Structure 1
Amino acid sequence: MTDANGAPAEAAPQIRMQVLAQYVRDMSFENMVAQKGLQGGDVQPDIQVQVSLDARKRSVEHQYEVITKFKVTSKNKSGSAETLFLLELDYGGIFHVENVPEDQLHPFLLIECPRLLFPFVRRIISDVTRDGGFPPLNVDTVDFLALYRMELARRAEAQKAAQPVQ
């Protein structure tokens, strides 16, 4: 390839990413059915999953910590709509990332890194719900790109609403 002047274009360095560590940062599971002594007879669960993401630079060069936060709430559809269980999981990863352009680093950290962590999060949620006395919950795949775009749109709306009217 050549640039506009006919000189050979310099190849962009290849992006490097390595997962250095992954871990449960915080987890909580509350089985309301067992706590309240409710009978499991007429239970039709309505499951809501909320996902949020956070990323920050670490003190070591090219290292970033990415945290995926899942809040899973199951309520009974029939009858009183009581909460059956509540699971909160903060799952983190430490990533070594090189050669990502600065303007693309934020989306890279909040889309690609959580995508790598997600299978482990799904497994933990499945195991915890099963061990908590419920059928294993296999969380649907999360579209982290769509989640990122929704967050950008939400921030743009909030910024627009915060501007004074002239």
Structure 2
Amino acid sequence: MYKQQGFTLIELIIVIVILGILAVTAAPSFINFSTDARVNVLKNISAAIEAAAEQSYLKAAIVGAEKQSRSSAARPPEVTINGISMELKYGYPEALADAPAGGDILDLLVLSDDLEVCYSVNCSASNSSRVKIGYDTTEGTGCYVRYSEPGGTGAPSATMYGLEIVTDGC
């Protein structure tokens, strides 16, 4: 009696078709590695900003500056972090320091040169209450994290900072 050894052509074709279907459905999830990486970088920046803001608040609370609308070297009590005199609103760092020697939120972060930093909606650096950090800082459609100082545009209240992650353009 003759015994069959191996697979028939039909069986091989069925296996190839099934593997093809699996490859087509799984491939899109592997293609978006760069988007996923950028979104994760933004999440890490957001976490770093949150940690820096909370650190400054705790230091402000120690010296009694957490309830002041503004505190800096010119408006005591002064809060110094890493040798920098910080400009604070209700204990949290300002987005953009008014004084040239004053510290703001960016002075508490270490950022890659690959990232853009943009103040306000149109990226002008004059008197802004928010800063955007990311790969594309186009308002609303880019790929960035926005920090809003207390009382600034996008902040939840006059005494609390705001953080928003925009990933539409990642």
TM-score by length of structure 1 reads 0.25
The structure showing larger relative contact order (alpha-carbon pairs under 8 Å, at least 6 residues apart) is 1
TM-score by length of structure 2 reads 0.25
Greater percentage in strand:
1
Higher CA-based Rg: 2
